[in-house]
Amino acid sequence: MALLRLRNTKGPNAAEIERKIKRGNALRQGSSWRVSCGLLALLLVVMCGCAAATWLYVTSLDSDITETLAHQREIISPEPRVYLVPCSEDYDSYKRYPGCTPQKCGRAVTDSMVTREEAQVLRRLAERGLALAGSEGGASILDLHSGALSMGKQFVNIYRYFGDQIRDVFTQEDFELYRDVRGRIQAVIARTFDLDPTLLYLTKPTFFSRINNTAAKTQHDEYWHPHIDKVTYGSFDYTSLLYLSDYGSDFTGGRFIFMDQNANRTVEPRAGRVSFFSSGSENLHRVEKVTWGTRYAITVSFTCDPAHAISDPTLP
């Protein structure tokens, strides 16, 4: 209204006043536009900053900054090499078992539990069993407990599928060594994490694995994705791996990688080496893709929940 009245003013200064008002309006509009642009630019900077922070956090979990916890060429003996980390909250979602549920968390490596000769015997067991079938992709498993064996894109039960012929593949001595080695691994886990070994139970899945560089055919072949054992298998409390082949000479790639926020921490497989860790998100991990050769290992899993316990395998 003030602008309208001034436009009707007939005084000698009316035109000058109107020009100043128009200039003032233009300046205010320009200022408002600049403020809007400034706010938009600030918002873009903040958004880019958030995106960059998120990207840095994610990439930090798979950083090129790698610490090798155990080189293939070294022998870690007689005591395990232990790397402690704070326990995650994962275990709070499950019933707690005093004397077993993780209170002390971390990962450890030892070369003193299983001899290289014993590892070779177990590797030959795995080779004979997996020669019966095997996956079409790069990852095959053999579970002596359930009888599960990779066959093409599926699994079969070796005890039902092959019947009595399975005694031509495995021996009682094979199974006795398997049970003995399981007991040694269970004992070193209990000792390292201050557990009552009688409260720690073998659980499923516990299995042999054979990995090569054949392209994946199903999701079961995609072993390289980061994962948390306690999330994948709620019964897991402690996970162990017994390596049956050597990184660098039997295969390349295939290293075991703990993905921490500040660095990757890597274990290089060595025949007879046992790597073990608490199974929660404090030990997010993955396996590198195997690029050459064949990697053999046994995953031996333990629970504190007796309802999820499994027995040692027996030859039918």
Say yes or no to pLDDT of 186 above 80. yes
- Which residue out of 107, 182, 273, 295 is catalytically annotated? 295
pLDDT in tens, 210-219: 999 999 999 8
What is the model's pLDDT at position 45? 42
Q: Compute the mean pLDDT over every residue in the chain, rounded to the nearest whole number.
A: 86
Owning domain of residue 6: 2-59
Q: Do 52 and 88 fall within a single domain?
A: no
Q: Do 147 and 9 fall within a single domain?
A: no
CA distance 267 to 287: 10
CATH number for 303:
2.60.120.620
Residue 242 makes CB contacts below 8 A (sequence gap 6+) with 114, 119, 122, 181, 185, 272, 273, 274, 297, 298, 300
Q: Do 108 and 199 fall within a single domain?
A: yes
**8 A C-beta contact, residue 259 and residue 281:** no
One-letter amino acid at 98 equals P
Higher pLDDT, 40 or 268: 268
Q: Do 109 and 179 fall within a single domain?
A: yes
Cα Rg, the chain, nearest whole Å? 31
Q: Do 162 and 89 fall within a single domain?
A: yes
What is the model's pLDDT at position 255? 97
Q: Do 54 and 71 fall within a single domain?
A: no
pLDDT in tens, 107-141: 999 999 999 999 999 999 999 999 999 999 999 99
Residue 147 lies in a domain: yes
Residue 300 lies in a domain: yes
Active site residue 295: yes
CA distance 274 to 80: 9
Q: Do 169 and 300 fall within a single domain?
A: yes
Q: Do 53 and 111 fall within a single domain?
A: no
CA distance 199 to 195: 8
Residue 148 lies in a domain: yes
pTM for the whole structure: 0.80
Q: Do 226 and 81 fall within a single domain?
A: yes
Residue 316 lies in a domain: no
Single residue among 23, 38, 59 that ends a domain in this structure: 59
- Structurally, how many domains does the chain consist of? 2
Q: Do 16 and 126 fall within a single domain?
A: no
Residue 315 lies in a domain: no
Q: Do 286 and 203 fall within a single domain?
A: yes
Single residue among 22, 40, 59 that ends a domain in this structure: 59
Single residue among 38, 59, 80 that ends a domain in this structure: 59
Residue 314 lies in a domain: no
pLDDT band at 64 (very low <50, low <70, confident <90, very high): low
Residue 265 lies in a domain: yes
